[in-house]
């Protein structure tokens, strides 16, 4: 099938051009007409650098993995979706027979095929064929734009799940980038009573603070450990989410956590970071690490349907499909007040 798509030809070279995509509709698949696609930091990273760690773009590849659209065709065995359903899609499809998949840990399946991770094409194109099991109907009050936000929100929500939040926990999120903000919202939606968020950029902190009971801490001006200590009677935060992954963030996380607390590592440092094991031991901290997410999309949609979380303030910039390259250039030099760029295929 030939269609127009946003193709990363090689590092720093994008084309909006026709491409042949070989996708056949299986019995348990649906064909979805794409409506909105969000631009993720990883898309921009492939655009700028042509690779993320071991994943190297060697052939032209369609970008995009945060998508919402409309079901246009269903396979013969599909039972839960029908033509016309508004949906969003989980971009990674595992081997159902893999050992990790059978255990429910499908995000850890080494054979997973994930949109816009070389050599798998992404979704910045008019149509995709996708398994029913990884396609989710949008509630009526959830827009396509919000639907395309489910994917990055799922990262924060998976982190919140791993933390095993108890209702009323106090959380800290290190970093007020897109994932940091989404994690703060996920922490609140997941049961936290309040969240401290750190950054060095005042506009980001101001935006974060407007989203709920979120206390900004500008670490250029204040000590996170002191702020949390003061607010918790010297006890510390129940959960600390590291959404930056810098060399110093591990120590910062340990310092802010309470005895018996938990740290969730979301950010991916480029090299090993120093880990003060004894500092963690005297508090008996639990450290969770996450890789993408699993089983989270229906939960995200449930929270969005009931407005327990509102992602709309984070959709800050929209572009038409015809302007996709401009969208990527905009996203490559993002302004402090911009959080999420989306491309609408209309």
Residue 10 touching its own copies (CB under 8 A): no
Residue 245 touching its own copies (CB under 8 A): yes
Residue 84 touching its own copies (CB under 8 A): no
> Which one-letter DSSP state was computed for residue 267?
S
Give residues 104-123 in contact with its own copies (rule: CB under 8 A). Answer: 104-108
Residue 256 touching its own copies (CB under 8 A): no
Residue 280 touching its own copies (CB under 8 A): yes
In the complex, what is the shortest distance from the CB of residue 333 to its own copies, in angstroms, rounded to a whole number? 26
Residue 86 touching its own copies (CB under 8 A): no
In the complex, what is the shortest distance from the CB of residue 325 to its own copies, in angstroms, rounded to a whole number? 30
53, 84, 140, 221: residue in contact with its own copies (rule CB under 8 A): 53
Quick one: tokens of 174?
């290190």
Q: How far apart are CA 338 and CA 176, in angstroms?
A: 12
Residue 60 touching its own copies (CB under 8 A): no
16, 209, 273, 325: residue in contact with its own copies (rule CB under 8 A): 273
- CA-closest candidate to residue 328, choices 47, 60, 4: 47
DSSP string, 57-107: --S-EE---EEEEEEEEE-TT--S--TT-EEEE-SEE--TTSHHHHTT-GG
24, 140, 221, 233: residue in contact with its own copies (rule CB under 8 A): 233
Q: Which residue stretch of 58-66, 198-206, 257-265, 331-339 sits at the interface with its own copies (rule: CB under 8 A)?
A: 257-265
Q: How far apart are CA 178 and CA 173, in angstroms?
A: 12
Residue 268 touching its own copies (CB under 8 A): yes
Residue 133 touching its own copies (CB under 8 A): yes
165, 181, 228, 343: residue in contact with its own copies (rule CB under 8 A): 165
Strands 51-52 and 55-56: antiparallel
3-state secondary structure of 311: coil
Give the H or E element holding residue 301.
helix 297-305
Cβ proximity to its own copies, 124 vs 296, nearer residue = 296
Cβ proximity to its own copies, 84 vs 272, nearer residue = 272
Give residues 295-324 in contact with its own copies (rule: CB under 8 A). Answer: 295-296, 298-308
Q: Which residue stretch of 114-122, 192-200, 202-210, 315-323 sits at the interface with its own copies (rule: CB under 8 A)?
A: 192-200
Residue 248 touching its own copies (CB under 8 A): no
33, 45, 283, 318: residue in contact with its own copies (rule CB under 8 A): 283
DSSP string, 119-143: TS--S-SSEEEEEGGGEEEPPTTS-
Residue 11 touching its own copies (CB under 8 A): no
Q: How far apart are CA 172 and CA 180, in angstroms?
A: 10
Long-range contacts of 328-335 (CB under 8 A, 24+ apart): 328/6, 328/14, 328/39, 328/43, 328/44, 328/47, 328/63, 331/39, 331/43, 331/44, 332/44, 332/47, 332/48
3-state secondary structure of 251: helix
Q: Which residue stretch of 67-75, 163-171, 197-205, 330-338 sits at the interface with its own copies (rule: CB under 8 A)?
A: 163-171
| Length of the chain counted residue by residue | 346
């Amino acid at each position: 099938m030939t269609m127009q798509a946003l193709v990363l030809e090689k590092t720093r070279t994008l084309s909006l051009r026709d491409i042949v995509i070989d996708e056949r509709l299986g019995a348990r698949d649906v064909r979805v007409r794409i409506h909105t696609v969000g631009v993720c930091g990883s898309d921009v990273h492939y655009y700028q650098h042509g690779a993320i760690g071991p994943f190297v773009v060697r052939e032209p590849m369609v970008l995009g993995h945060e998508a919402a659209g409309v079901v246009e065709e269903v396979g013969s065995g599909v039972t839960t979706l029908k033509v016309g359903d508004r949906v969003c899609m989980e971009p990674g499809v595992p081997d159902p027979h893999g050992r990790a998949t059978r255990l429910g840990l499908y995000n850890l399946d080494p054979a997973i095929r994930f949109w816009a991770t070389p050599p798998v094409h992404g979704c910045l194109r008019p149509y995709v064929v996708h398994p029913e099991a990884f396609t989710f109907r949008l509630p009526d009050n959830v827009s396509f734009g919000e639907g395309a936000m489910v994917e990055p929100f799922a990262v924060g929500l998976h982190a919140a799940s791993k933390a095993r939040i108890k209702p009323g926990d106090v959380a800290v999120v290190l970093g007020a980038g897109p994932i940091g903000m989404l994690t703060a919202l996920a922490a609140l939606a997941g049961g936290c009573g309040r969240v401290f968020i750190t950054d060095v950029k005042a506009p980001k902190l101001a935006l974060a603070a407007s989203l709920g009971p979120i206390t900004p801490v500008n670490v250029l001006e204040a000590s996170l450990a002191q702020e949390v200590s003061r607010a918790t009677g010297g006890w510390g935060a129940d959960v600390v989410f590291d959404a930056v992954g810098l060399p110093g963030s591990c120590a910062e996380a340990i310092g802010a956590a309470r005895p018996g607390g938990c740290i969730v590592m979301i950010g991916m440092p480029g090299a090993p970071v120093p880990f003060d094991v004894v500092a963690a031991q005297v508090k008996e901290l639990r450290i969770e690490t996450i890789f993408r997410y699993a089983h989270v999309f229906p939960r995200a949609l449930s929270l969005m349907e009931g407005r327990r979380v509102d992602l709309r303030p984070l959709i800050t910039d929209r572009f038409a499909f015809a302007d996709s390259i401009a969208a990527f250039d905009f996203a490559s030099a993002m302004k402090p007040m911009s959080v999420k760029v989306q491309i609408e295929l209309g």
